[in-house]
Chains A and B, each alone.
Chain A
């Protein structure tokens, strides 16, 4: 089955700096890569996603890049703010019976310090 590795497990940056989280996946059939943000005690919420026919996608301070050949994708957050502090999960998805089978990475605890 699919295996998703995520690094780093913890990341501490100063406010205003950039943060980069990297993920690799194993199954070349995976074709959808969402990123979720989970604040303490809350549910995971989608922040950005990318499909395998696209190499890069940007939404304001957040961008995601995908390298299908190398099977890795990354999340970039620029001009970080304290409210960006949370756990971030990458995921790789294979279509399955009308839905998606999402395999999540192990999460990155991002802390933005003042």
Chain B
């Protein structure tokens, strides 16, 4: 019973397509995140939601649109995929309290050809 689960694990698609990644957490956390890890392993925050409300929106192209139907789910939709979008996308969650650790999902490896 994975605490933070993402689907799919692998996603291979062509440039210009639209794709979605889903994330669910069963930890009862209020806050969820999307992080992008590029080919150099650099981890960078993209978005954060607290109880369905967007609280962090970094400089991310508006082709990326997160959606949180409830506090246990945070999905990521990407329009018009580009080669540079190829990366591993990690979902994470944390309790509402500040200074709490993030729990990461297993990641989705997106390859755009």
A contact set with B: CB distance below 8 Å? 31-32, 34, 38, 42-46, 49, 51, 87, 89, 93, 95-104, 106-107
Partner of B96, one of A32, A49, A99, A102: A99
Name 27 interchain pairs, CB-CB below 8 A, sorted by A.
Answer: A34-B102, A42-B106, A43-B90, A43-B105, A43-B106, A44-B90, A44-B104, A87-B41, A89-B43, A96-B48, A97-B48, A97-B55, A98-B31, A98-B51, A98-B55, A99-B48, A99-B55, A99-B98, A100-B31, A100-B94, A102-B45, A103-B45, A104-B42, A104-B43, A107-B41, A107-B42, A107-B43
Contact B41 A99 (CB under 8 A): no
B33 within 8 A of partner (CB): yes
Q: A100-B94, A100-B98 are in contact. Are A44 and B43 (CB under 8 A)?
A: yes
Contacts of B43 in A (CB 8 A): 44, 89, 104, 107
Contacts of A87 in B (CB 8 A): 41
| Across the A-B interface, the 5 shortest Cβ-Cβ residue pairs | A97-B55, A99-B31, A95-B98, A32-B99, A98-B50
B12 within 8 A of partner (CB): no
B contact set with A: CB distance below 8 Å? 30-31, 33, 40-45, 48, 50-51, 53, 55-56, 90, 94, 96, 98-107
Q: How far apart are the CA atoms of A104 and B37 in the complex, in Å? A: 11
Contact A43 B56 (CB under 8 A): no
Majority DSSP secondary structure for residues of A touching B: strand
Partner of A100, one of B40, B44, B90, B100: B100
Name the distance in Å between B86's Cβ and chain A's nearest Cβ.
Answer: 16
Contact A95 B99 (CB under 8 A): yes
Name the distance in Å between A45's Cβ and chain B's nearest Cβ.
Answer: 7
Partner of B30, one of A42, A49, A98: A98
